[in-house]
Amino acid sequence: MKEITASELETRLRSGEKLSLIDVREPDEWADGHIKEAVSMPLSVFVERLGELNGFEEPLYLMCRSGNRSSRACDYLEAQGYEVVNVLGGMLSWPGEVVTGE
């Protein structure tokens, strides 16, 4: 599985690069602060919502709080044939701005 640091991701987003960024944290974590460009797809309902990924351009960048849950989601998606990138350190390492609320 490919990996990227939160700082590298922030640099790419700041430069205007369009990335398919999926946040697998739960709704309360999302509401506490998330990246504006991210889409919320909690790990607890991930498999049920898998079909929604068909509209996303690959690779899919996955993140969570620390990088552990997103790593598991990456493993799962990779086994399904998706091209994925795990964001190391997750939101704990995110140096950029965050948006709060839903």
Whole-angstrom Cα distance, residue 37 to residue 22? 9
Residue 85 main-chain phi, psi, to 5 deg: -135, 125
Start-to-end CA distance of the chain, whole Å, equals: 30
Q: Any catalytic annotation for residue 64?
A: yes
SS3 50: helix
Q: State how far Cα 70 lies from the chain centre.
A: 7
Whole-angstrom Cα distance, residue 84 to residue 78? 7
Which of 4, 13, 21, 64 is labelled catalytic?
64
Catalytically active residues, by annotation: 64
